[in-house]
Amino acid sequence: MAFAKNIGFPNGDSRNADGEALGVLLRAEAAGALDAFAFYFEKEFGYRPDAAEGMRNLDRQNFYYDRFVNKRPGWTVAAVPGTSNHGWGLAVDFGGNLNVSFTEEHAWAAKTAPLFGWVWTGKDFGEPWHFDYLGVNVSAKQATEYIARGKLGGMIQDDGFTDQDRATLYALTTGARPLANGYPFPARDAVQNNLEAVITLLRQVATRPGVNLAEVSASLSNALTPLLPRAVADELARRLTKGT
Ligand SMILES: [Zn+2]
């Protein structure tokens, strides 16, 4: 998917960053994709990833570049001012366990973030923390496989779900048209429009041996809360547990 780095504002102009994710400013499309990535990261590791810097203005880039070209101790490579992807609102520097390359989290992020359009480009210049948003070019098929491998189903509950259930659930909770960033992330309107069908499917799953309806309900509500208005998620959980 092609998208423009230059949307009419100079590099380093804060108008390039009309979105926000993980507490840093970014291009809205990149922010949405990072937020989706963070959602899966949290499901995997139990905490939100930490971002140290996103959009960077020209003064800041000049500051970093000065330290880089003058080889000040402790300063790393910096792009020529006016060329950094940070200046377009399309780069993020992670903190915490994504600040170094030897953690389980970093290995997972390097492999998973590209599904959301974020690529560990810092690999090429010795920066474990630096990821660029290159746009979502993953095919729908790859994304479907990724989710079918258990990332979405796993959030809900592994026990009791067959591959067919997962495929059905995926179809019901994914918008016919992908989100703006091209990623077929479960879409709020699709979930709401198909609420009855989702409930029917989950009730069927819940009748199978070894499946606890309350657990399915709780984990479903948990999984869907970021995607649905809280009231809808609560209503879904209520109807599942009460059977009405
Ligand atoms: Zn960076």
Centre of ligand 1 to C-alpha 229, Å, is: 34
106: in domain: yes
Q: Using a pLDDT cut of 90, give the percent of the chain over it.
A: 30
Quickly state the pLDDT bin for 118 (edges 50, 70, 90): confident
Domain assignment of residue 28, given as a range: 14-133
Give the tokens for residue 243.
């059977």
Centre of ligand 1 to C-alpha 184, Å, is: 27
6: in domain: no
Centre of ligand 1 to C-alpha 16, Å, is: 16
Count up the domains in the chain and report the number.
Answer: 2
pTM over 0.85: no
β-strand pairing of 19-21 with 51-53: unpaired
Centre of ligand 1 to C-alpha 132, Å, is: 8
Alpha helices (runs of H) in 125-229, residue ranges in sequence order: 140-146, 152-156, 163-173, 188-193, 195-206, 213-224
Rounded to whole angstroms, the Cα distance separating 216 from 196 reads 16
Residue that finishes a domain, picked among 86, 113, 133 = 133
Query: Would you state the pLDDT for residue 197?
Result: 76
Q: Which of 172, 232, 227 is nearest to 204 (CA)?
A: 172
Centre of ligand 1 to C-alpha 28, Å, is: 18
Distances (CA, A) of 167 to 146, 149, 208, 235: 12, 10, 18, 24
- Are both 102 and 162 inside the same structural domain? no
Centre of ligand 1 to C-alpha 174, Å, is: 32
- Are both 126 and 147 inside the same structural domain? no
- Are both 212 and 112 inside the same structural domain? no
236: in domain: yes
Long-range CB pairs of 229-237, under 8 A, 24+ apart, other chains included:
229/188, 232/191, 232/192, 232/195, 236/195, 236/198, 236/199
4: in domain: no
Task: Check residues 67 and 241 and name the one with the higher pLDDT.
Answer: 67
Q: Which residues surround ligand 1, an ion (CB under 5 A)?
A: 93, 130
53: in domain: yes
- What CATH code is carried by the domain that includes residue 78? 3.30.1380.10
Centre of ligand 1 to C-alpha 46, Å, is: 25
Quickly state the pLDDT bin for 3 (edges 50, 70, 90): low
3: in domain: no
- Are both 30 and 48 inside the same structural domain? yes
CB 136, CB 33: distance < 8 Å: yes
Treating both helix axes as pointing N-terminal to C-terminal, what angle do 230-242 and 213-224 enclose, rounded to 10 degrees? 170
Centre of ligand 1 to C-alpha 218, Å, is: 38
- Are both 23 and 123 inside the same structural domain? yes
pLDDT in tens, 173-190: 665 444 444 444 445 556
Centre of ligand 1 to C-alpha 128, Å, is: 9
Q: What is the rounded average pLDDT of the residues 34-59?
A: 88
Centre of ligand 1 to C-alpha 76, Å, is: 10
- Are both 27 and 121 inside the same structural domain? yes
Q: Which of 112, 82, 80 is nearest to 94 (CA)?
A: 112
Q: What is the rounded average pLDDT of the residues 195-209?
A: 72
Cβ-based neighbour number of residue 118 at 10 Å: 26
Centre of ligand 1 to C-alpha 90, Å, is: 10
Residue that finishes a domain, picked among 92, 117, 133 = 133
Centre of ligand 1 to C-alpha 183, Å, is: 24
- Are both 168 and 103 inside the same structural domain? no
- Are both 57 and 147 inside the same structural domain? no
- Are both 74 and 26 inside the same structural domain? yes
1: in domain: no
Centre of ligand 1 to C-alpha 85, Å, is: 8
Centre of ligand 1 to C-alpha 31, Å, is: 15
Q: Summarize the chain as % helix, strand, coil (round to 5).
A: 55, 10, 40
Centre of ligand 1 to C-alpha 130, Å, is: 4
Q: What is the mean pLDDT of the chain?
A: 74
